[in-house]
Structure 1
Amino acid sequence: MNLTGGIVLYAVLWFLTLFILLPIGLVSQEEAGEVVPGTHAGAPHRADLGRKMLWSTVISAVLWGGCAWLILGGVFTREDVMNWDQLVR
């Protein structure tokens, strides 16, 4: 894995974890009882994006570390990945 591949892998993992974390703990304006005029009642009351982005950074760093260990440690080689199609044949 080179530098560009590592950065791309981290970005993919970061956005994946962020999109998984976004709906967790979300309270709509209707559930909170404070619907702002002009917005949908299902809009988030408080999204806590900063906290979720921080958690996404931490979780994706741990996942990236595991993936980097698997790739750089030689657990999975490029030849192994190329032969995975043999499993379904």
Structure 2
Amino acid sequence: MSITGGAVLFVVIWFITMFVTLPITLRTQAEAGEVVPGTHQGAPADFRLRRTLLIVTLVTLVLWGIVVWIITSGVISIEDLDTWGIMGERVPN
């Protein structure tokens, strides 16, 4: 895996993790019981961006490490994913 490939993989996993984590860490104004006039009840009551970004980055580092290990160790290869043989024969490097 190249450096660029690793960086792209990290960014993709980071954004997926971010979108999964946002609703989990969200506490709405309705849940807090303090709805600010002019805002929606579902608006965040106390959005802690730094904490959320830290959690997302730490989880992403773990997931990225696992995926990189799987890719570089050859535990799962392209041939394993080619169930119906539509990719043709793989030419060795």
Q: TM-score range by the shorter chain?
A: 0.7 to 0.9
In 2, Cα distance between equivalents of 1:42 and 1:28? 5
For residues 22-79 of structure 1, what are the alpha-carbon distances to aligned partners after superposition, in whole Å with 9 as ceiling and x for unaligned? Answer: 1114221122122222211111101222111111111111111111111111222333
2:83 aligns with 84
**Corresponding position of 1:37:** 37
TM-score w.r.t. the length of structure 1 is 0.82
Matches within 5 A, 1:1-89: 1-81=1-81, 83-86=82-85
What is the distance in 2 between the residues matched to 1:78 and 1:5?
A: 16
What percent of counterpart residues are identical?
A: 51
Q: Give the structure-2-normalised TM-score.
A: 0.79
Structure 2 spans left out of the alignment, 5+ residues: 86-93
